[in-house]
Structure 1
Amino acid sequence: MDLPQNRFKRRLLGREPLFGIWSTIPDPMAVEALAGAGFDWMVLDTEHSSVEVAEVLPLLQAAAPYPTDCLVRPVVNDTALIKRHLDQGAQTLLLPYIQNREEAEAAVAAVRYPPRGLRGVATTTRAARYGRVPDYVARADAEICLILQVETAAALDRLEAIAGTEGVDAVFIGPADLAASMGHPGQSGHPEVRDAILDAIDRLGAIGVPAGLLSQDAAFTRSCLDRGARFVATGIDMRLLVRAADALASAFRA
């Protein structure tokens, strides 16, 4: 049995924009429904949701038959935690709140096997197709996609050092936390925040690192794409559910 290829990583190297959606509802049926909607990728979020490590596995399995690629966001940049997500089959990780090059280097080491990194070796995991990929340890590193999330003003000051770390495949800009760190909590659409995001996209483009972000403002999303953003999330499952439910209830109350 061959090693599964990381389709998202390969597409990220291309020039077409990749559109995604945020998954926070910890239910395989919800993930399966989103996976069939036509998005290029989906974040399975364990940072701002109740999803635990073991609960990610059935979510990955639910999405597997569909062309939507899953990005798993662990709760923290931790070697032991990252190992567990990788062993159960996650190939693309989005690590939150990276602040400097040292943290970027730690993340790279966590997703790679020795001698290039620190990932613990186990050969009967789902990632290795339960031992049916005989050369998994030798080849796995090439199929892992590491995305680091930069979401504070201090981290933006160190953007080139973080993004330029060998082994980092892309950088994701977090507007909400960035806004708070810039003194505009709850105002991710503040002009200063938007200018900082667009500037970060320019800087990442200058060093050849793909930039991504989450924005539910269609006009700003298009501005980011025009500046060179390569992968953008355009919605969050819970917000879509709540807005649709509120609109339906309001329509009948009226």
Structure 2
Amino acid sequence: MPFQLKATFREALAGQSRAGDGGRPLAGMWVSSGSPLVAEICAGSGLDWLLVDMEHGPNGIEGVLRQLQATAAYPPSVVVRVPGLLPVTIKQVLDLGAQNLLVPMIDTAEQAEAAVRAVRYPPRGVRGVGSSLARSARWNRVEDYLAHGDEHVSLLLQVESAAGVRNAGEIAAVDGVDGVFVGPSDLAASMGLIGQPSHPDVVAAVLHALETVRAAGTPAGVNSFDPAQAEAYLAAGASFALVGADVALLARGSEALADRFVARG
């Protein structure tokens, strides 16, 4: 029997985040621990989406596969952030069955176009063809997977530098880009304000990027662990946001236990 894949993050954004249709922004969290068990716990939380991070988390190909399998039965969209604009890695992650990718450190429309080519099969792209061997097509159980490959993959690009903010409109306008995600931490560093993602100049740059991306007709997202700042970005028009991380929740939660129950000298 033909196998039916889950809807992509692009479809989730279209269904829930359009202004004026009663929708709402999509709230998610980072899964940076590398643990399939933690990923499954987070998948059952009621959040809209999860981000499995290969750029800064201890996630290799085999670990990403296990987390995709652990979360497959749960409602949230699962996005995998690859380490960079690396076509070979992108091909491997797609073949694992990841339907939603985030590519970091995109500064120009040319890089955006290269990312689009990396997730598309020829003649529109350079993705290698191996669906009969791969979980992506469930070993050829997804009917006409190759013919409809673009429909099964959602591509998000991360803008996280001053140059990326300047070019955000052009990046967002590239055909095949389903969303642009703004990263305040690296943006702050590129502006000479490392460690200050809430600095007024950084916030202003984030807001400018969100506005520019939305003006291009593309959903805009943002990362913020500060609840008040996250709500401000959502109020400013962000369609999706990451508002926490598994490792951060564990770190702060364990510290709170220590503060309460461990005697301080």
TM bracket (short chain):
over 0.9
Runs ≥4 in structure 1, deviation > 4 angstroms? none
Q: Find the residue that maps to 1:43 and give its secondary structure.
A: strand
Q: Find the residue that maps to 1:162 and give its secondary structure.
A: helix
The residue type paired with residue 216 of structure 1 is F
Shift of 1:253: 2.3
Pairing 1:64-213 to 2, within 5 Å after superposition: 64-124=72-132, 125-213=134-222
Pairing 1:207-222 to 2, within 5 Å after superposition: 207-222=216-231
Shift of 1:172: 0.3
8 Å CA contact 2:5–2:142 kept in 1: the answer is no
Provide the identity percentage. 46
Q: How high is the TM-score relative to the length of structure 2?
A: 0.93
In structure 2, what is the Cα distance between the partners aligned to 1:159 and 1:27? 33
In structure 1, what is the Cα distance between the partners aligned to 2:188 and 2:131? 43
Shift of 1:161: 1.3
Structure 2 residues without counterparts, runs of 5 or longer: 18-23
Bigger CA drift: 217-226 or 80-89? Answer: 217-226
In structure 2, what is the Cα distance between the partners aligned to 1:5 and 1:216? 28
Shift of 1:3: 4.2
Bigger CA drift: 159-168 or 82-91? Answer: 159-168
The residue type paired with residue 97 of structure 2 is G
Q: How high is the TM-score relative to the length of structure 1?
A: 0.97
CA shift digits 1:166-211 (9 cap, x unpaired): 1101000011000000110000010100011111111111111111
Partner residue in 2 for 1:39: 47
Question: Structure 1's 140 and 3: CA in aligned 2 closer, same or farther, altered over 3 A?
Answer: farther
Partner residue in 1 for 2:21: none
Structure 1 residues without counterparts, runs of 5 or longer: none
Question: Structure 1's 139 and 87: CA in aligned 2 closer, same or farther, altered over 3 A?
Answer: same
Q: Find the residue that maps to 1:25 and give its secondary structure.
A: coil
Shift of 1:109: 0.2
8 Å CA contact 1:98–1:104 kept in 2: the answer is yes
Q: Find the residue that maps to 2:210 and give its secondary structure.
A: helix
Q: Find the residue that maps to 1:138 and give its secondary structure.
A: coil
The residue type paired with residue 178 of structure 2 is D
Pairing 1:3-82 to 2, within 5 Å after superposition: 3-14=4-15, 15=17, 16-82=24-90
CA shift digits 1:6-37 (9 cap, x unpaired): 24221211322100000011111111111111
Shift of 1:231: 0.5
Shift of 1:225: 1.0
State how many pairs are aligned: 254
Shift of 1:54: 1.9
Question: Structure 1's 211 and 26: CA in aligned 2 closer, same or farther, altered over 3 A?
Answer: same
Q: Find the residue that maps to 2:146 and give its secondary structure.
A: helix
Q: Find the residue that maps to 2:241 and give its secondary structure.
A: strand
8 Å CA contact 1:3–1:136 kept in 2: the answer is no
Q: Find the residue that maps to 1:116 and give its secondary structure.
A: coil
In structure 2, what is the Cα distance between the partners aligned to 1:7 and 1:75? 21
The residue type paired with residue 145 of structure 1 is S
